[in-house]
Amino acid sequence: MIAPARKAGTFEALTEADWADGYQKCLYSYTTAICAALPYMKKGGSGRIVNSTSSSIKQELDNLILSNTFRMGVVGMSKTMAREFGPYNIMVNTMGPGRIYTDRIKYLNTIRAEKAGITLEEYNTRDAASFPQKRYQTADEYARSVVFICSPANSAISGQVICVDGAMTTAY
């Protein structure tokens, strides 16, 4: 599952309502979906839970304090659930996509381009050039990784944080 993206902003720019909304949509929404599926996984004797978050789980992103904060909560929850649900053969992992050019990235890049005083196209070119692979990742690349984590070929990877980001983040 992946939670909806949250409002961009710095700590002082956000309101209490922004924080409450961030919690509801960026952490609590995961628990709602997992609670709905868990009884069926336990009854069936196996399951896979992949909590899709952001590369900010390895390296924080400027101006995205809500995402940085609550996505780390998803990591802690996932690691705990992996141990708790392991006896039921339910594997739980957290995956962080890198920069896939989605509507969310376009929105954030538009803000960044405006701040830099350049066009969106110029910003996108500069942005991609700064990545180790010199390009945005694709949704297909990310999907193939998720498919493996959910497949029978994966019999031991659980409780892990996996970034699919073309080496954008190098933190441990």
Range of the domain at 33: 1-96
**At a CB cut-off of 8 Å and minimum separation 6, what does 63 contact?**
8, 9, 10, 111
Domain total in the chain: 1
Amino acid at 38: L
pLDDT in tens, 127-145: 999 999 999 999 999 999 9
| Averaged pLDDT, 152-161 | 97
Q: At 160, is the secondary structure helix, strand, or coil?
A: coil
In a domain, 60, yes or no: yes
Contact, 65 vs 19, CB < 8 A? no
pLDDT in tens, 26-65: 999 999 999 999 999 999 999 999 999 988 888 888 888 9
Residue 81's CATH number: 3.40.50.720
In a domain, 1, yes or no: yes
In a domain, 4, yes or no: yes
pLDDT in tens, 55-107: 888 888 888 899 899 999 999 999 999 999 999 999 999 999 988 999 988 99
In a domain, 170, yes or no: no
Distances (CA, A) of 156 to 29, 90, 104: 26, 11, 33
Distances (CA, A) of 141 to 63, 76, 126, 127: 26, 25, 22, 19
pLDDT in tens, 4-21: 556 888 999 999 999 999
> Is residue 98 packed enough to be buried (19+ CB in 10 Å), middle (13-18) or exposed (0-12)?
buried
Q: How far apart are CA 95 and CA 86, in angstroms?
A: 18
Residue 6 confidence (pLDDT): 64
Amino acid at 45: G
Residue 171 confidence (pLDDT): 79
In a domain, 105, yes or no: no
Nearest 10 degrees: CA dihedral of 37, 139, 167, 68? -50
Helix crossing, 16-23 with 65-85: angle to 10°?
30
